[in-house]
A and B are shown apart, each in its own frame.
Chain A
Amino acid sequence: MPDLLSVRNLKIEATAYPPGEPPRTVTLVDNVSFDLTKGKVLGLIGESGAGKSTIGLAALAYGRGGARIAGGQIGLNGQDILTLGPKEIRGIRGARVCYVAQSAAAAFNPAHRLGEQVIEASLRHRIMSRAEAEKRAVYLFRILGLPEPETFGRRFPHQVSGGQLQRAMTAMALCPNPELIVFDEPTTALDATTQIDVLAAIKHAIEETRTAALYITHDLAVVAQVSDDIMVLRRGRTVECGSVRQIIEMPREEYTRALVNVRQSIRQETADQSDPLLKVEKISARYPNGFEVLHDVSLHLPKGQTLAIVGESGSGKSTLARVITGLLPPSEGRISFNRKELTPALKDRSKDDLRRIQLIYQMADTAMNPRQTVRDIIGRPLTFYYGLRGAVKTARVKELLDQIEMGNGFIDRYPAELSGGQKQRVVIARALAAQPEVILCDEPTSALDPLVAQGILELLMRLQKETAVSYLFITHDIAIVRAIADSVAVMHRGRLVRFGPRSKVLSPPFDDYTDLLLKSVPEMEVGWLERVLEARRMESTGN
């Protein structure tokens, strides 16, 4: 019997249009082969640009953004789908092979009800009648743990949460009873506590319906929970392929080992917290519509140390940064800096106060003017705060480029000519140019690949050692907290749940929320998900 999916020597190309140069062909995927048997799950893992999504979409004979399949075979039950005509390919998509996108929020049509979208493919391909499809949708909503499965389908996409949308997307893929589902980073955009539920729901649904799946992610710990086998990809080529246990416990290749060992502790915590540089006292903040986003938050940050603020989206951690910068003046409480009270509103602060606090954002892309060169971007604060011009300014920009481990050759590049990690480094250099005392880092690594993120974190720690700058580091990633923080603040729904030195905050006894948060972080270990779910079940029966 042939394998369900059998990929041989797959080669995928696209045409790149670099600015100022003639178009050229780039190879996205090169000579990739693998097999997937019925009912099994294969994890595709790698950094962005590894070609994992491209391979996933190729299983539906689809090329995103001009990608085209240039060679090889993709056998679905022994039939090479690359030789089929457009009409036959349409017959496979949404019927025999289905796709779950990373952002369900964008992948659902805002104009139609969820139920209609879930059953659409089943109806259009005449796989089942409307009544049967609706019945199956309700069944799938139920096994995926969606609320009120009978009526869930009547809602519009904007009426349900992100985690529910992701599960609804899985239901949409499962509805026509496909032979294969391609999951493309289905939990990446979710909070840790939501991710674990969705992960469990997907795993349960795959087992229940015995569908085969390609599971694409950049997070080895996640893929270890749902896959049978793992294929590691890098720059469009296979690095290694093996069972989950073999990849996690006995990686053969250097690159895989680096992925497994990412974010091990970078530094020891500094215990002395007695002399706070930045002090936030009893801060509450409201949106203009009166909604209270922060309630009674007090914390402090000594010189040369790192305070990590953890919490899910909506917990108020970015708002806290906005309050400290003065973008959103607090409704109550005070902020002091160097024992001096800081003016609440940004526009009333002195230039020197502004200089002392700098920001690094999650999306370096949107934080830079795309029409300015690296020289202009880094040079701007030099002129603004220090009045540097001409050769002096250029020399200082070069110095800063050295500090962020980028050569002088980058000085006349535009942001579009930089990689994601390089962009983030330039933004860090811009913050450093002001010679600040505190840098507020708002999830600076969450949009980056693990190894690139690791490099950024190491850079930040080195800069801290050299310049004694303090970081207020906002993140949702506990692993980063473990790696870099001296002190930790856990936030939940606008309140401070827990605050103190890292070793204290991250060790028992825990409050309920911190406990849930810590237990939701996938560990690089086979069987972790089952253990957590089992523990939860015990708890709920125990109560």
Chain B
Amino acid sequence: MIHSSKAGFMSGRTLRQRFPLLSMIIQRLLLSVVLLFAVSIVIFGGIEALPGDFATTYLGQSATPQAVANIRTELGLNKPVVTRYVEWLGGALTGDFGTSWANRNSVSEQIGGRLGNSLFLAFFAAIISVPLAVGLGMLAVLFRNRLPDRIINIVSLAAISLPEFFVGYLLIVWFAVNTGIATFPATVYDGMPFLDRLSAIALPTATLVLVVIAHMMRMTRAAIINVMSSAYVETAELKGLGGLRIIARHAAPNALAPVINVVALNLAYLVVGVVVVEVVFVYPGIGQYMVDAVSVRDMPVVQACGFIFAAFYIFLNMIADILAIIANPRLRHPR
């Protein structure tokens, strides 16, 4: 270890040693692509393995063998699995997820609007919850084991312990029914004015914030406390710096990596895990769309949603990985 740093000694330094940061980032990118490919196989194979058949469900009482065969031919289900997978993947990579079996519309078009709604909701939930969680985490460290720390802990734990639909209904009862300061349902439509949209999503956003904040806050607190016992924090203390400055400037930068990972997981949840919240608030997001598609066995839609969710998860985690790598000064500034 000591030796490899003495650059002059090394005769043939590999690319990896010369550009550690770049090579690690490229490695993560390649890994993500491989992962996405693997996920596509799992999704396609999983749906293939599902019991039940669209044609029989669709035709109901009138499912004669001839009619079923006709529909299967029409949907291309008589082709071999591999051919169908390759066709589907080829389309998916160019943004074409085929047509819905239920209503013969383009899946991509339908998803487009829904995904936009979901991202809109997730974005506002994220810009409120992430700074709030990190800030509260720092405050909890500053007042460690004292009253503010306990209050922050108890409230956030309570919020995460309640099921999200319950939190949602509570908020509806208090703010929409009893006091009437918020609107319900949170239905949005195309061409709705921006401010109306904001007020429509107020309650679902609040629900999501309450659900995700505890996890990020507690991770921030734990990661910073872990760093607080290190010698450089003592150095900062012996420089006579104030508590908040020590936490924000000397402890937090070294606690970034675990916090970034938890934030990424929660952001991914905000995009792909909001099904329940969307249903409770009748919000036309992608989660609700997927639930509807599952109930009628509209496989192209289910596949597309699954693939997009997986892509989001992988993308956000990759970004988190890369940010965590960049946060390490040893990799950012090699010797």
**A positions within 8 Å CB-CB of B:** 57, 60, 62, 64, 89-95, 98-99, 101, 103, 106-112, 120-121, 124-125, 156, 158-159, 287, 289-291, 293, 313-314
Contact = CB atoms under 8 A, between A and B. Distances in A.
B243 to A, nearest CB: 10
Nearest to B333: A156
Contacts of A62: 237-238
A121 B335 contact: no
B240 A289 contact: no
Given A108-B232, A109-B232, A156 B241 contact: no
Contacts of A89: 240
B250 interface: yes
Contacts of B144: none
A286 to B, nearest CB: 10
12 contacts: A57-B238, A89-B240, A94-B238, A94-B240, A106-B231, A109-B254, A110-B254, A110-B330, A121-B239, A158-B330, A289-B4, A313-B2
A90 B253 contact: no
Contacts of A125: 240
A99 B11 CA distance: 41
Given A90-B241, A110-B330, A125-B240, A293 B234 contact: no
Contacts of A92: 240
A404 B239 CA distance: 46
Given A90-B241, A107-B231, A121-B240, 4 more contacts: A92-B240, A109-B253, A110-B330, A112-B253
Contacts of B9: 291
Q: What are the 9 tightest A-B residue pairs by CB atom distance, in nearest-first order?
A: A94-B239, A93-B240, A111-B253, A106-B231, A94-B240, A121-B239, A90-B240, A109-B232, A99-B238
B241 A120 contact: yes
Contacts of B237: 62, 93
A110 B329 contact: yes
Interface residues of B, number: 27
A375 B234 CA distance: 39
Nearest to B256: A111
Interface of B: 2-4, 9-10, 12, 230-232, 234-242, 245, 249-250, 253-254, 329-330, 333, 335
B74 to A, nearest CB: 60
B2 A124 contact: no
A92 B231 CA distance: 20
Contacts of A57: 238
A209 B250 CA distance: 28
Given A107-B232, A110-B254, A120 B3 contact: no
A346 to B, nearest CB: 21
Contacts of B4: 287, 289, 291
A227 B240 CA distance: 27
Given A112-B253, A159-B335, A289-B4, A95 B234 contact: no
A95 B10 contact: no
B3 A293 contact: yes
A124 B245 CA distance: 10
Contact of A103 (B3, B10, B231): B231
Nearest to B238: A99
A433 to B, nearest CB: 32
B235 A60 contact: no
Given A111-B329, A314-B3, A101 B335 contact: no
B254 A111 contact: yes
A532 to B, nearest CB: 27
Contacts of A90: 240-242
A124 B231 contact: no
Main secondary structure of the interface of B (DSSP, over half): helix
A107 B330 CA distance: 16
A309 to B, nearest CB: 17
Contacts of B2: 313-314
Contact of B240 (A109, A111, A124, A158): A124
A89 B241 CA distance: 10
A291 B239 CA distance: 41
A57 B235 CA distance: 11
Nearest to A93: B240
Nearest to B14: A289
Nearest to B17: A289
A65 to B, nearest CB: 9
B239 A124 contact: yes
Nearest to A287: B3
A93 B240 CA distance: 5
Contacts of A111: 250, 253-254, 329
Most buried by B among A62, A291, A313: A291
B329 A101 contact: no
A158 B335 contact: yes
B229 to A, nearest CB: 9
B239 A158 contact: no
B325 to A, nearest CB: 14
A101 B238 CA distance: 10
Contacts of B329: 110-111, 156, 158
B150 to A, nearest CB: 22
Nearest to A291: B3
Given A92-B240, A124-B240, A106 B3 contact: no
A94 B241 contact: yes
B23 to A, nearest CB: 15
A73 B234 CA distance: 23
Given A106-B230, A159-B333, A291 B240 contact: no
Nearest to A116: B249
B3 A108 contact: no
A124 B3 contact: no
Nearest to A111: B253
Contacts of A106: 230-232
Contacts of B10: 291
Nearest to A105: B231
Contacts of B249: 112
A107 B333 contact: no
Nearest to B231: A106
A74 B10 CA distance: 54
Nearest to A155: B333
Contacts of B254: 109-111
A515 B50 CA distance: 80
B235 to A, nearest CB: 5
A99 B254 CA distance: 22
A112 B248 CA distance: 13
A374 B235 CA distance: 38
B122 to A, nearest CB: 30
Given A106-B230, A109-B232, A158-B330, A95 B3 contact: no
A520 B160 CA distance: 62
Contacts of A95: 240
Contacts of A287: 3-4
Contacts of A290: 12
A331 to B, nearest CB: 15
A91 B241 CA distance: 9
A110 B232 contact: yes
